[in-house]
């Protein structure tokens, strides 16, 4: 287990505040201890003793530390030290920069994948790891694209081009078009086309 404050619970709030101020001067060397203190301060909400309503306001005003960075420091401690108990050598080898990059992915992964991510962060240079994560996020985003939304966007783009109008104006013109349409006929056509469209989607998704 990496060295950290072993008796954090016995420290007074003033001692914790002072320790944060000292540790932040050498952030890369002290990111574990600093993350531990920030995690405790955030969890216990003792920043309210100094009159702050939020953790973000507290760290930014007291230590000139961005709320985002403070949150990442606390999260790195929570995930890799408190939850996973990663050993000191691995933590120091990876460093804060790479740990905070993989932290959001590790947090939502199962345990087997968590270990794989730690290994990747240990072995891959920072630039390669960043590009790897970027590619994975891109792939995930592409998988999340709703085919129905794509169909709608394509249809609206085609119709605004045909009628030479904006999307807002298109709603008005479509209302005019459907004004005297037979409701039963419209429902039947929509039902048939919806069934056909969804059958095609299911074929594409089948292995």
Model confidence over 115-170: pLDDT tens digits? 999 999 999 999 999 999 999 988 887 776 777 888 888 989 999 999 999 988 99
* Residues above pLDDT 90, as percent of the chain: 49
Mean pLDDT of all residues in 62-84: 93
For residues 118 and 153, state if they share a domain: no
For residues 181 and 129, state if they share a domain: no
What pLDDT digit, counting tens, does each position of 14-44 carry?
888 887 887 776 777 889 999 999 999 999 9
Q: Name the domain count of the chain.
A: 2
Q: Choose the final residue of a domain: 98, 120, 143.
A: 143
For residues 117 and 194, state if they share a domain: no
For residues 118 and 75, state if they share a domain: yes
For residues 180 and 105, state if they share a domain: no
Mean pLDDT of all residues in 62-69: 92
Could you tell me the pLDDT band of residue 97, with boundaries at 50, 70 and 90? very high
The confidence score (pLDDT) of residue 1 equals 41
Residue pair 36/8 in contact by the 8 Å Cβ criterion: yes
Mean pLDDT of all residues in 71-97: 91
CA trace torsion 149, 151, 153, 157 (10° rounding): 180
For residues 59 and 161, state if they share a domain: no
Domain hosting residue 156, numbered range? 147-205
Average pLDDT taken over every residue of the chain: 87
The verdict on residue 113 lying in a domain is yes
**CA dist list (Å): 7 to 4, 33, 41:** 9, 12, 14
The confidence score (pLDDT) of residue 10 equals 74
What pLDDT digit, counting tens, does each position of 42-51 carry?
999 999 999 9
For residues 132 and 169, state if they share a domain: no
For residues 130 and 164, state if they share a domain: no
The confidence score (pLDDT) of residue 70 equals 94
**CA dist list (Å): 16 to 25, 106, 188, 201, 202:** 15, 28, 69, 57, 57
For residues 59 and 20, state if they share a domain: yes
Tokens standing for residue 173: 């013109």
Tokens standing for residue 113: 């994948």
Residues 98, 122: Cα–Cα separation, whole Å: 8
For residues 113 and 199, state if they share a domain: no
């Amino acid at each position: 287990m990496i060295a950290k404050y072993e008796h954090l619970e016995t420290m007074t709030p003033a001692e914790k505040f002072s320790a944060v101020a000292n540790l932040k001067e050498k952030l890369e060397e002290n990111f574990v201890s600093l993350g531990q203190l920030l995690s405790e301060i955030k969890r216990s909400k003792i920043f309210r003793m100094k009159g702050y309503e939020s953790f973000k306001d507290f760290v930014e005003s007291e230590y000139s530390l961005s709320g985002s960075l403070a949150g990442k420091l606390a999260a790195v401690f929570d995930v890799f030290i408190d939850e996973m108990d990663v050993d000191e050598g691995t933590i120091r080898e990876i460093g804060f920069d790479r740990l905070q990059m993989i932290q959001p992915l590790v947090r939502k992964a199962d345990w087997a994948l968590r270990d794989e991510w730690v290994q990747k962060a240990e072995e891959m240079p920072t630039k390669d790891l960043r590009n790897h994560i970027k590619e994975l996020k891109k792939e995930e985003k592409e998988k999340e694209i709703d085919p129905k939304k794509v169909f709608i966007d394509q249809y609206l783009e085609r119709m605004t081009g045909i009628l030479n109008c904006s999307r807002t104006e298109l709603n008005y013109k479509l209302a005019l078009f459907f004004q005297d349409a037979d409701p039963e006929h419209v429902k039947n056509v929509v039902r048939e086309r919806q069934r056909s469209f969804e059958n095609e989607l299911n074929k594409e998704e089948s292995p």
